[in-house]
Structure 1
Amino acid sequence: MARVLVLYYSSYGHIEMMAQAVAQGAIAGGATVDIKRMPETVPVKLVESAGFRVNPDHPEADPKELTDYDAIVVGTPVNYGNIAAQVSSFWARTTGLWKDGALVGKLAGAFSSTGSQHGGNEAALLSMHKVFLHHGMIVIGLPYTYHAQLDDDRVAGGSPYGATTIAGKTLSLQPNEVELGGARFQGEHIAKVAGKVFG
Structure 2
Amino acid sequence: LEANGVDVKLFQVEETLSDEVLTKMQAPAKPDIPVITSQQLTEPDGIILGIPTRFGIFPAQMKAFLDSTGKLWASGSLSGKFVGTFFATASQHGGQETTALNAVTYFAHLGMMYVPFGFANKAMFDLTEVVGGSAYGAGTITNGDGSRQPSEKELAIAKQQGETFAKIVMTYDNGKNKLSAAEASKDSDNLLSVGTTTAAAGAGAAVAASQASTHGDPATSSTHTDVNVPVAGAATNTSTTANTSDTINKDNVGTTSSQPTASQDIAAAQSGQPTPSQDIAAAQSSQPTDAPATSQQPGAGPSEKPKKKKKKFLFCCGNPDDLD
Q: Could you say which residue in structure 2 is the equivalent of 1:67?
A: 42
Q: CA deviation at 1:28?
A: 2.1
Task: Give the aligned residue type for 2:167.
Answer: K
Alpha-carbon deviations, 1:39-85, whole Å to 9, x = none?
100011112332332011x1000110000010000011110000111
Instruction: Give the CA RMSD over aligned residues.
Output: 1.2
CA distance in 1, matches of 2:159, 2:85: 12
Runs of 4+ in 1 over 3 A off after TM superposition: none
Q: Could you say which residue in structure 2 is the equivalent of 1:187?
A: 162
Matches within 5 A, 1:52-63: 52-56=28-32, 58-63=33-38
Q: Secondary structure at the match of 2:8?
A: strand
Of 107, 120, 140, the residue aligned with 1:132 is 107
Deviates more, 1:72-81 or 1:175-184: 175-184
CA contact (8 A) 2:57 2:95 kept: yes
Q: CA deviation at 1:130?
A: 1.6
User: Normalising by the residue count of structure 1, what TM-score does the alignment of the two structures yield?
Assistant: 0.83
Q: Is residue 89 from structure 1 mapped to residue 64 from structure 2 by the alignment?
A: yes
Number of residue pairs aligned between Structure 1 and Structure 2: 173
Deviates more, 1:162-171 or 1:105-114: 162-171
Deviates more, 1:73-82 or 1:45-54: 45-54
User: Equivalent pairs: percent with the same residue?
Assistant: 35
CA contact (8 A) 1:81 1:119 kept: yes
Of 4, 18, 27, the residue aligned with 1:51 is 27
Q: Secondary structure at the match of 1:36?
A: coil
CA distance in 1, matches of 2:145, 2:39: 36
User: Normalising by the residue count of structure 2, what TM-score does the alignment of the two structures yield?
Assistant: 0.52
CA distance in 1, matches of 2:110, 2:27: 34
Task: Give the aligned residue type for 2:31.
Answer: N
CA distance in 1, matches of 2:22, 2:144: 20
Q: Could you say which residue in structure 2 is the equivalent of 1:123?
A: 98
Q: Could you say which residue in structure 2 is the equivalent of 1:101?
A: 76
- Could you list the runs of 5+ residues in structure 2 that have no partner in the other structure? 175-324
Query: For the pair shown, which has the larger CA radius of gyration, 1 or 2?
Result: 2
Higher relative contact order, chain-length normalized (CA < 8 Å, sep 6+):
1
Matches within 5 A, 1:160-175: 160-175=135-150
Q: CA deviation at 1:34?
A: 0.4
CA contact (8 A) 1:115 1:167 kept: yes
